[in-house]
């Protein structure tokens, strides 16, 4: 349940408790191994309360994906692709760094690929969908381009996280942009 700010304080606390418990469980295990029962125990609610707000764990996950995707899209809405891809990449790293360990697990964890792909698909559809240069590409070219960018940027982020974030973020952004922008500029020649 996405909060509007007009809910009763008890509802807000319950939803926040559910989401906090869910994020904690994501950090501890693969999504497929999370159960409503353990989520409810951790959130200190009964199952009936959970089902009042969410039909399934998948519904909770979809909401989380929606919120994360929307938050990032809000930051990049003014950027024009591919011309400002460097700025979009920078925003990705800045946004990701603000999200916390559950986001890192989803973005870096192999078992979370399906979840991550749904989020990146939405971002790509909305972000690149406004680009005239992109719309002129064939479907194969679009998939090739987006695959290259996604894999390159996500791999750089993954390497940075797995390396303990010892390399300054600005250096990682700059290196990622050199690699990605070099490929994208060559692609559009």
From the centroid of its chain, how far is CA 165?
18
Give the separation between CA 94 and CA 160, rounded to whole angstroms: 13
Domain assignments of the chain as residue spans, ordered by start? 9-54, 65-187
Number of Cβ within a 10 Å radius of residue 139: 7
- pLDDT band of residue 6 (cuts 50, 70, 90) is low
H or E element that contains 143: helix 139-162
The fold of the 9-54 domain, in CATH, is: Arc Repressor Mutant, subunit A (1.10.10)
Per-residue model confidence as pLDDT tens digits over 94-145: 999 999 899 998 888 877 788 888 889 989 999 999 999 999 999 999 999 9
Q: What is the pTM of this model?
A: 0.86
CA distances from 12 to 1, 123, 138 (A): 10, 28, 46
Residue 180: pLDDT above 90?
yes
Q: Region 74-88: what's the mean pLDDT? A: 95
Report yes or no: 160 and 172 within 8 Å, Cβ to Cβ. yes
Report yes or no: 40 and 47 within 8 Å, Cβ to Cβ. yes
Coil vs helix vs strand at 189: coil
Give the separation between CA 159 and CA 172, rounded to whole angstroms: 10
């Amino acid at each position: 349940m996405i909060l509007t700010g007009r809910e009763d304080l008890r509802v807000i606390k319950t939803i926040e408790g559910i989401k906090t418990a869910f994020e904690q469980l994501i950090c501890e295990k693969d999504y497929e191994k999370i159960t409503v029962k353990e989520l409810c125990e951790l959130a200190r609610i009964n199952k009936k309360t959970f089902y009042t707000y969410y039909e399934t764990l998948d519904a909770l996950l979809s909401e989380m994906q929606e919120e994360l995707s929307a938050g990032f899209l809000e930051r990049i809405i003014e950027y024009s692709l591919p011309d400002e891809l460097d700025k979009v990449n920078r925003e990705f790293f800045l946004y990701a760094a603000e999200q916390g360990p559950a986001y890192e697990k989803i973005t870096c964890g192999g078992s979370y690929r399906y979840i991550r792909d749904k989020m990146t698909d939405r971002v790509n559809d909305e972000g690149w969908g406004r680009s005239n240069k992109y719309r002129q590409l064939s479907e194969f070219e679009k998939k090739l381009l987006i695959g290259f960018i996604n894999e390159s940027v996500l791999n750089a982020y993954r390497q940075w996280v797995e390396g303990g974030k010892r390399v300054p973020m600005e250096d990682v952004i700059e290196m990622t942009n050199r690699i990605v922008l070099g490929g994208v500029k060559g692609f559009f020649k």
